[in-house]
Amino acid sequence: MSNYILGFLDSISFGQTAWAAQAPLGDGRGTDVWQLVISAGPVVQVVLWLLVLFSVLSWAVIFTKFKVIRAARKENREFENLFWECGSLSSAYSQTRNLTQSPLAHVFRLGYAELGKVMRLSGDAGLPREVVDNLKRAMSRGQASETTRLHKAVTFLATCANTAPFIGLFGTVWGIMDSFRSIGSTGAANLATVAPGIAEALVATATGLFAAIPAVVFFNHFNRRLQVLEAEMDSFSQDFLNLVERDVMRRQGPPVEAVRPAGMGSPAAASLT
């Protein structure tokens, strides 16, 4: 029994030595990754370059969205502090005009511009109750435009995450087909003949996963951040509309004590002028 086992191990070591002698590392048919890429067929190389392009574009989108979302969150905090500390909407408008990356500031500017138009049209008659509906439509447009701006190019990450693995799989299948064609043409079906071609094909699958994994991770991350920013815009729009509606009620009816939203700053911004 021991002689049988030793003979089996000797045959395995002999086979490995023979394969190493036929296909040394780095000769274009070995296991060096760069050599595998260089020696791959034209179809597999096109797939690899396409996946590299997908990966480069994905990382460009990732870095860009990191910068945009970070700037939006930072300026949102600055805007909230300035808005609720100002004594009037006109003062808040002038002090937050430079916050160009803040979605809240953009929504506020549209609402303030619409409020100014209504006040000019109404004159001494006072603010009509329909002003809230006008402001709601104007601020909804602002929210839609800011949502579109913030989501720009994020969908490419989803496209890359969904398609890159299948593109890599296509390259793998094509490379394996080439390997089997070479086996049929040479008539040799040993490991030294099959392994390099299959390794070349599997590089395409690995490259597809390399492009897809970061894309799906950061797509989910950015979606969560963007949902938070959208919720902040919804909350601010409601607070602003409530502010205007309370002022309309105060001007046209008995005084109503201004109720400051929870978590916000000074209610001094309740004055529309």
- Based on the domain organization, do 68 and 129 belong to the same domain? yes
Do 13 and 97 belong together in one domain?
no
Which band of pLDDT confidence, cut at 50, 70 and 90, is reported for residue 174?
Answer: confident
d(CA 219, CA 148): 16
Distance from C-alpha of 171 to C-alpha of 176, rounded to nearest angstrom: 9
12, 36: one domain: no
**Does the structure show a pLDDT above 70 at 53?**
yes
* Claim to verify: residue 209 and residue 87 sit in the same structural domain: yes
Same domain, 10 and 66: no
User: In 10 A of CB 31, how many CB atoms?
Assistant: 13
* Long-range contacts of the stretch 216-220 (C-beta < 8 A, 24+): 216/157, 216/158, 216/161, 218/58, 218/62, 218/65, 218/157, 219/154, 219/157, 219/158, 219/161
Q: What are the tokens at 33?
A: 């990754």
pLDDT category, 181, cuts 50, 70, 90? confident
Supply the pTM of this predicted model: 0.71
Q: Are residues 115 and 169 in the same domain?
A: yes
Domain identity same for 99 and 21:
no
Is residue 115 domain-shared with residue 250, that is, in the same domain? yes
First vs last C-alpha separation in the chain: 100
Is residue 16 pLDDT above 60, yes or no?
Answer: no
Structural domain count of the chain: 2
Query: In this structure, how many other beta carbons lie within 10 angstroms of the beta carbon of residue 52?
Result: 13
Residue 27 scores a pLDDT above 60:
no
4 and 123 assigned to the same domain: no
- Do 9 and 69 lie in one domain? The reply is no
Task: Provide the domain limits for residue 91.
Answer: 31-270
Please indicate, yes or no, whether residues 71 and 132 belong to a single structural domain of this protein: yes
Instruction: Identify the CA nearest to 156 among candidates 47, 63, 58.
Output: 58
Same-domain check for residues 230 and 183:
yes
